[in-house]
Amino acid sequence: MHDLRVENAAGVLQDMTNIPPDIWQRANCVIVIPSVKKAALVVGGEYGKGVANCRTGKAWSAPAFFELEKGSWGLQIGAQSIDLVLLVMNQSGIEHLLRSKFTLGADGSIAAGPIGRSATAATDAQMHAEILSYSRSEGLFAGIDLSGGALMPDRDANVDVYGTNVTPRDVLLTHKVLAPPEANSLLTALAHVSRAEGQPAGGIR
């Protein structure tokens, strides 16, 4: 089950387009929540499940498992399926991510991310937000307002994969935790969308 979540997250990164390369270069962490279904947005108490990775030097960390509770989804509520990508842009956002529960827009700032080949048209709110959010629904790609949603570690999944003595902070911010083999496709996708500094940057393909 957990390896399927990781594979689906890799597929989201491979298929999404139009997150500006310079936004990827600035991102410290990424949370991918694949296939948040329509029912999860309409029936109270449902949520999406995904993975988070953070930069550790020039590479990306092993994935930690996270959950997202239903928030204010706006017009996206009519979509059959929504893929979400959240980019954590600064240290403050990282610290909020590692809390036991983080309410988007209340505990930290979140904005719908700019789209296109360049971030030069980004608003001041977007450029200073702790987290930038993106969605893909039924083939359409856009920024999305997730204010009011609650993000938290998926404790059961993290324990199943890494054991009881490993925290999400250990997984995301240290070199102590090795990624499981099933994360190879996700790490490959992350390497592709966020080229090493000094290399030509490309959008998500």
pLDDT tens digits, one per residue of 135-147: 877 666 565 667 7
Residue 11 CA to residue 8 CA, distance in Å, equals 5
198 part of a folded domain: no
128 part of a folded domain: yes
Contact assessment for residue 29 and residue 89, using Cβ atoms and an 8 Å cutoff: no
- In the chain, % helix, strand, coil (3-state, to 5) comes to 35, 30, 40
**The predicted structure's pLDDT at residue 190:** 93
Global pTM reads: 0.82
Contact assessment for residue 32 and residue 194, using Cβ atoms and an 8 Å cutoff: no
Give the closest residue to 70 by CA, choosing from 99, 93, 52, 49: 49
Overall domain count for the chain: 1
204 part of a folded domain: no
- Helix or strand holding residue 81 (H, E): strand 81-88
20 part of a folded domain: yes
Contact assessment for residue 143 and residue 114, using Cβ atoms and an 8 Å cutoff: yes
Give the pLDDT confidence of 113-169 residue by residue, as tens digits.
777 665 555 566 566 788 888 887 766 656 566 777 788 999 999 999 999 999 999
**φ, ψ dihedrals at 33, nearest 5°:** -125, 100
Residue 111, strand partner residues? 132
**The predicted structure's pLDDT at residue 8:** 92
* Residue numbers of the domain that contains 126: 2-193
Contact assessment for residue 79 and residue 138, using Cβ atoms and an 8 Å cutoff: yes
Say which residues have a Cβ less than 8 Å from residue 163's Cβ, sequence separation at least 6: none
**φ, ψ dihedrals at 204, nearest 5°:** -70, 135
